[in-house]
């Protein structure tokens, strides 16, 4: 299914809408409907419980930062200076476009990163790039800073910014968190929150929007120490495209390697490999097909100003391989920058004596890109029966609705019995009651939104206390006693 058809289907089913559609929407902003909001919540919870409260060898604590913070934060972090994209304007229609995106059909996408405006303009000239809307001539490029500005207060207003990433709030609260949680190296600080980027051309639905959500972990460690925890996951296999393979022109094929091999071949450090592996396992654990995932190392020219090494966890969306998450080695860059700008010492005492500015590995997930990957990955069209069916094959634990409950007919006490079952199940599952249309149509409706189990109450239920439970993927039906239903479902919904 192409992205337009997918977008239409997701709107019609109640997953994601353009914001304020009754006023024509606003480019780059989306609202999540009842099903999308549930899916998003389930993903966030999965990440939070798995990473913050998971069975780790070290402590990971959570925090929530404010959306607007002191503007000096963005000066020290480098965002005021370099968080920008190159932009051209059409002389005729006045449309504005990202220069590197205009070039992407002519040159490899990542090869524009790190080029100066002059170099980009030379490529525009060389390839005769024109306005994609009206064919007009485009201007020379200029930098466009992606941070949204706002004003704080009514008098003596302070110019401030909506945060473009959550990570900086972790760095500026570092001392407080370290003191209050009594953590010692290595440890992590995790956060989930909304961020804002005034993207020049938002596109590909929720893949590139102007307001989105991030789940970021800053993992602090002593670079002089080995990552003992890697041992636990060193045999995990990942698909890898390293920098050298790209330099040699091998843009397409990823190599399957274990994390142990990644480190043995010196593609990255042990700490970095550990978080590459954890990020991989998190996404595959949600049910995303590993064949559609790869870890691509940034070319030197692509690296952000703070990064010594970055790997993108890419998913094969319907519009190609694209970044789903970034796993960056931020070194001690941010803590040192904030220490310098604020005059506050942000180093940590070491148990063996002395002090250290810890280094940081940052796995950063865009929640919306993950939701979208999961939606694309879960969507199936099948020729079951005469009608065929659309099925969203979400893992049962993630499904927006986990159990549908139907009375076979709307009489003979069946609706009352079915509603009692709804009350029984609501404490443990996301349950939806549906009494309209034929049972076959009700099954199809639930298949299309990914409900893994449907319970039907019929005449036999009143006689022997059993219901039919129908499973979404196999369409197999079982007869289960009402008194066993909760445990029966619990085993299947939360097993994976
Ligand atoms: P891109 O190169 O695609 O613009 P980025 O490298 O600037 O992304 P990061 O700054 O590394 O992205 O942000 C971390 C994560 O936030 C990304 O991996 C992605 O999942 C998400 N993200 C970034 N920009 C957007 C956006 N405009 N819309 C939705 N998610 C985004």
pLDDT of residue 128: 93
- Looking at residue 469, which CATH number applies to its domain? 3.40.50.800
Average pLDDT over residues 397-411: 97
C-alpha span between 16 and 93 (Å, rounded): 31
- Whether 363 and 391 map to the same domain: the answer is no
Q: Residue 475 falls within a domain, yes or no?
A: yes
Compute CA 53 distance to the chain's CA centroid, rounded to the nearest angstrom: 19
Q: Is residue 416 part of a domain?
A: yes
Last residue of a domain, one of 377, 409, 444: 377
- Which atom belonging to ligand 1 lies closest to the Cα atom of 310? 11
Q: What's residue 386's pLDDT?
A: 67
Output the residue whose Cα is nearest ligand 1's atom 21. 366
Say how many Å lie between the CA of residue 92 and the centre of ligand 1.
Answer: 31
Chain Cα centroid distance, residue 103? 26
Percent of the chain, pLDDT > 90?
90
pLDDT in tens, 412-452: 999 999 999 999 999 999 999 999 999 999 999 999 999 99
Concatenated DSSP letters for 231-286? HHHTT-EEEEE-HHHHHTT--SPPEEEEHHHHHHTTSS-HHHHHHHHHHHHHHHHT
Please report the atom of ligand 1 found closest to the CA of residue 328. 11
Q: How many domains does the chain have?
A: 3
Co-location of 264 and 343 in the same domain:
yes
Mean pLDDT of 35-58: 96
Residue 366 alpha carbon to ligand 1 centre in Å: 6
**288 within some domain:** yes
In this structure, which residue's CA is closest to atom 29 in ligand 1? 208
Q: Are residues 331 and 223 in the same domain?
A: yes
Average pLDDT, the chain: 95
Please check whether residues 400 and 266 belong to one and the same domain: no
Residue 496 has pLDDT above 60, yes or no: no
Is there a single domain that holds both residue 308 and residue 359?
yes
Mean pLDDT of 467-476: 97
Give the residue, by CA position, lying nearest to ligand 1 atom 2: 323
The more confidently predicted of residues 3 and 44 is 44
Q: How far is the CA of 412 from the centre of ligand 1 (A)?
A: 55
Say if 151 falls within a structural domain. no
Residues 41 and 46: their CA atoms lie apart, in Å, by 9
- Name the pLDDT band for 312 (thresholds 50, 70, 90): very high
- pLDDT of res. 417: 97
Residue range 278-284: average pLDDT? 98
- 55 or 293: which leads in pLDDT: 293
Q: End of a domain among 351, 377, 403?
A: 377
pTM of the model: 0.95
DSSP structure class, residue 353: S
- In a shared domain, residues 190 and 239: yes
111 pLDDT exceeds 80?
no
Position with higher pLDDT, 422 vs 247:
422
Task: State whether 486 and 453 are in the same domain.
Answer: yes
Q: pLDDT class for 109, splitting at 50, 70, 90?
A: low
Whether 57 and 107 share a structural domain: no
Residues 448 and 312 in one domain: no
Query: Residue 76 domain-assigned?
Result: no
Give the residue, out of 364, 365, 371, 373, with the most ligand 1 atoms within 8 A of its beta carbon, to mutate for a pocket test. 364
Is the pLDDT at 372 greater than 70? The verdict is yes
pLDDT of residue 112: 82
Interval between CA 373 and ligand 1 midpoint (Å): 14
Cβ 76 vs Cβ 96: under 8 Å: no
Task: Report whether pLDDT(385) > 70.
Answer: no
- Residue 467 in domain: yes
**pLDDT tens-digit profile of 325-359?**
999 999 999 999 999 999 999 999 988 899 999 99
Distance 364 CA to ligand 1 centre (A): 8
Q: What percent of the chain has pLDDT over 70?
A: 98
Instruction: Note the pLDDT tens digit of each residue in 119-170.
Output: 999 999 999 999 999 999 999 999 999 999 999 999 889 999 999 999 999 9
Which residues lie with the beta carbon below 6 Å from any ligand 1 atom? 165, 197, 199, 208-209, 212, 214, 323-326, 364-366, 368-369
Q: Among 377, 401, 421, where does a domain finish? A: 377
Judged by DSSP in three states, 380 sits in strand
Parallel/antiparallel/unpaired status of strands 348-349 and 355-356: antiparallel
Does position 231 have pLDDT exceeding 70, yes or no? yes
Give the range of the structural domain holding residue 127, as residue numbers without chain letter. Answer: 88-98+102-141
Residue 464 lies in a domain: yes
> Distance, CA 398 to ligand 1 centroid (Å)?
23
Kind and range of the H or E element at 271? helix 270-285
pLDDT value for 252: 65
Residue 309 counted as domain residue: yes
Distance 483 CA to ligand 1 centre (A): 48
Looking at the structure, do residues 60 and 124 belong to the same domain, yes or no? no
On the question of pLDDT at 108 being above 80, the answer is: no
- The yes-or-no verdict on residue 113 having pLDDT over 90 is no
pLDDT score for 148: 98
Do 399 and 309 belong together in one domain? no
Distance set, CA 18 to CA 206, 377, 400 (Å): 10, 21, 20
> If we measure between CA atoms, which residue out of 395, 471, 407, 462 comes closest to residue 435?
407
Tell me: do 180 and 261 sit in the same domain. Answer: yes
């Amino acid at each position: 299914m192409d992205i337009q058809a997918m977008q239409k289907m997701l709107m019609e089913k109640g997953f994601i809408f353009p914001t304020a559609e009754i006023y024509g929407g606003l480019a780059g902003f989306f609202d999540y409907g009842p099903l999308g909001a549930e899916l998003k919540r389930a993903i966030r919870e999965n990440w939070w419980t798995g990473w913050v409260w998971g069975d780790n060898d070290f402590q990971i604590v959570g925090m929530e930062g404010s959306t607007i913070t002191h503007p000096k934060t963005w000066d020290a972090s480098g965002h005021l200076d370099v968080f920008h994209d190159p932009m051209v304007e059409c002389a005729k229609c006045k449309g504005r476009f990202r220069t590197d995106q205009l070039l992407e059909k002519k040159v490899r996408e990542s090869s524009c990163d790190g080029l100066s405006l002059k170099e980009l303009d030379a490529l525009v000239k060389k390839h005769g790039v024109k306005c994609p809307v009206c064919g007009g001539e485009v201007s020379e490029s200029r930098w466009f800073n992606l941070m949204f500005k706002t004003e704080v207060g009514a008098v003596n207003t302070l110019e401030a910014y909506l945060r473009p990433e959550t990570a900086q709030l972790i760095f500026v609260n570092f001392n407080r968190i370290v003191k209050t949680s009594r953590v010692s190296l290595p440890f992590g600080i995790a956060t989930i929150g909304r961020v804002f980027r005034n993207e020049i051309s938002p596109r590909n639905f929720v893949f590139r929007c102007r307001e989105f959500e991030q789940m970021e972990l800053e993992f602090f460690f002593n670079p002089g120490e080995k990552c003992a925890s890697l041992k636990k996951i060193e045999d995990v296999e990942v698909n890898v495209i390293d920098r050298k393979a790209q330099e040699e022109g091998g843009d397409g094929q990823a190599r399957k390697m274990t994390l142990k091999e990644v480190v043995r071949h010196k593609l990255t450090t042990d700490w970095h490999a550990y978080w590459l592996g954890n990020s991989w396992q998190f996404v595959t654990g949600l049910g995303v097909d590993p064949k559609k995932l790869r870890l691509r190392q940034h070319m030197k020219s692509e690296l952000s100003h703070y990064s010594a090494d970055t790997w993108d966890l890419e998913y094969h969306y319907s519009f190609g391989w694209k970044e789903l998450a970034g796993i960056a080695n931020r070194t001690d860059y941010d803590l040192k920058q904030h220490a310098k700008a604020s005059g506050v010492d942000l180093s940590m005492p070491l148990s063996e004596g002395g002090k250290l500015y810890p280094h940081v590995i940052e796995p950063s997930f865009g929640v919306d890109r993950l939701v979208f990957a999961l939606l694309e990955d879960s969507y199936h069209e099948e020729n079951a029966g005469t009608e065929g069916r659309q099925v969203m094959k979400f893992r049962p634990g993630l499904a927006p609705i986990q159990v549908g409950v139907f009375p076979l007919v709307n009489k003979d006490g069946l609706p009352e019995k079915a509603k009692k079952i709804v009350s029984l199940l609501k404490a443990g599952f996301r349950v939806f009651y549906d009494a309209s249309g034929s049972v076959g149509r009700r099954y199809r409706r639930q298949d299309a939104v990914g409900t893994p189990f449907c319970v039907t109450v019929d005449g036999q239920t009143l006689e022997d206390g059993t219901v039919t439970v129908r499973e979404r993927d196999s369409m197999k039906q079982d007869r289960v006693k009402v008194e066993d239903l909760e445990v029966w479902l619990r085993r299947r919904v939360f097993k994976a």
